[in-house]
Every structure is written in C-alpha cells, then in structure tokens.
Amino acid sequence: MRSNVARQVRKKELFEAEVLERDGRDVLLRMIVSGGTYVRKLCHDLGLVLGVGAHMVELRRIRIGPKSEKEAVTVQQLQRAAWQYREGGDEKMLRSIVRPIEELLEYIPRIVVLDSAVDAICHGAPLAKPGVAQAETRITRGATIGIYTLKGEIVAIAKALKSTEEILREGGIIAKTDRVFMARGTYPPRWGKGKSKTSQPTT
C-alpha cells in the first residue's frame, strides 16, 4: 500500500479532480495531474485532510499527453505484430503500433534549429540564438519545448530561458537542453561553423 520512492517534498500540479462514482466508503475519481505525480500519496493525503484516512485501491492511466487509452494496444497485439514481421517480413501491423516519438510531443512548443546546431545539442549543449531557424510564437520562459531539425525530427526537449519575443529580440542562450533523443553523430559536427540566419516566428 505504500510507495517505495524516497519521501521528500515534491511540487506537482492537480489540474482537475472529479468524483465519478461513490459506493459507501469507495470513491472513483478522475484526475488530470502533472507528470511524476504519485496518486497513491495524493489519495493518502486527501484522507488526512478529510480526517477519515484513505488509500488507493487501483490506478488506471487513461491518457498520457495527447494519447488516450483508446489508442493503446495490448502486449499480445505487439507480440503478434513482431511475430508477423520476424517470420514473414510483414511490417504493416508493427508500423501501425510503433509510432514516432514526435507524435507524443506534438503538444509542446517547438524550436527548429539549423543543421549546424544539431550535433552540439546531441552532446547536451544549450541552444543559442545563432542555431535557431524558427521559433513558435507561444514559447514562454520556463516552458518545456521541443528542439527539432529542419526535417521535423526531434533532437531534444529543453527548458526555455526566454520567450519567443525575447528570442527574436535578444541573443545569447535561449534554452537549456534537458533530454536528448537523437543519437550523437546523426548530423555531422559543425560546431561554430554554422551561419546565423534571421529567426522567424511561427504559429
């Protein structure tokens, strides 16, 4: 009944909470929470606040980012798709199941970078303005953003250090690389060799 994670204060967001059903002391809740929220601990804390005690019996994740459980597949379906590809070379079912990571990140603002900046970011370097080709208009300070190539490939996710307006108006470092997805060397290293272009906002 207890979480095995280290006990420490964690600041998370609870966007929505709705009671769907109630049967005696059992309550069915639907919640929308930020990533990394421990719902088991949240249920325990709700019980403390109400003065009655509470614990989580079951957790069902019905959505992650833009993807809902309606788009989920079973382990058996994945095994069958892999078997069809392995035994007969038929990759149709496998391609319908395994989706590009870019689809999962469609909801976050993006910055498109020049080819000359890609490999440096793959090595964890922060993003500076000379490497920017385009920036979406909805970027705010502190927001999680996606860094993409000119071909639309995800390079990394990062924390924006400046808003779109500040990116266009100022120079310097504009984003701190958080997690890299693209393998090093996918694009040839051209550190310091890229030509700066005027950044353009996009919607």
Looking at the domain assignment, is residue 8 inside a domain?
A: no
pTM of the model: 0.68
Domain that holds residue 51: 14-60
Residue with tokens 């999962």: 104
Reported as a single tens digit per residue, the pLDDT across 69-101 is: 888 899 999 999 999 999 999 999 999 888 888
Same domain for 173 and 124: yes
Q: Say whether both 107 and 149 belong to one domain.
A: yes
Confidence of residue 56 (pLDDT cuts 50, 70, 90): very high
Q: Kindly state whether residue 131 falls inside one of the protein's structural domains.
A: yes
Q: Residue 194 pLDDT more than 90?
A: no
Mean pLDDT, rounded, for 42-53: 92
Distance CA 187, CA 153 (A): 11
Alpha-carbon distance 100 to 83, whole Å? 20
- For residue 23, is it within any domain? yes
CA distance 50 to 13: 20
Q: Look-up: residue for tokens 């924006």?
A: 160
Total count of domains within the chain: 3
Statement to judge: residues 30 and 108 lie in one domain: no
Contact 146, 111 (CB under 8 A): yes
